[in-house]
Amino acid sequence: MIFPCIDLMGGKVVQLVQGRTKALEADSPEEMLRRFVAFPQIQVIDLDAAMGVGENAQLVESIAEKAVCRIGGGVRTATRASRLIDQGAHRVIVGTSAFTHDGINTALLDNIAAAVTPGRVVIALDSRNGHIVVKGWTETTTLTAEAVVAQLEPYCSGFLCTYVDKEGMLQGTDLEWFRRLRGATSHEITAAGGISTLADVQALRAMQIHAALGMAIYTGRLSLDDLAALQ
């Protein structure tokens, strides 16, 4: 499956490079939903909530009313996860709060899984230089995705695995990393970060890995028609 991405900041749809520098502002969420209508699900990230500088709750709810969405950004409590489900999220994405500096935050993940069920949870494994990064990719943990992915399986039904080294740069992704992850878990995997060609998407599909696409779509590097034909 291909997940077109809608990232929200300050009430607008944006794309960032390396999670920091705003590269572009896109059309309204309603227009992006119209463009993404051929795709069965989309991915929505509230960047303001993720960074702890506000939230875009009304926009998130509006999008979730119109499309099947996996939604993340600032999911630090079971209450937040439940709220997103109540707002219409099909699944919630848990990132930073799933980890401590050198381990897994099992207490929080237990609470979230109990509140919304593991089937509604996706855990984000954002990795740079081989290690999981958190807090808007500003802090590096001692953990590797390959080492912890199996331990996280009881708390979720899938993983969003971002190759941060090339996120937003349109320079290709690390297919070997994704291949190692595929061998480490039987859960659903969605790849993100640097995916910029149909060959990348097809290679991931051959591994039974989904793709979440942002910059390549918004810049026209990848055609929505071509991607829809792969669904």
* Active site positions, annotated: 7, 126
Q: Identify the CA nearest to 46 among candidates 89, 108, 105.
A: 89
Q: Identify the CA nearest to 131 among candidates 142, 116, 122.
A: 142
What residues contact residue 229 under an 8 Å CB cut-off, 6+ apart?
Answer: none
**Where do the H-state alpha helices sit in the chain?**
29-35, 47-51, 57-66, 78-86, 106-116, 145-152, 175-184, 198-206, 215-218, 224-228
> Torsion over CA of 26, 30, 32 and 37, rounded to 10 degrees?
180
Distances (CA, A) of 5 to 15, 30, 58, 142, 148: 9, 13, 18, 28, 26
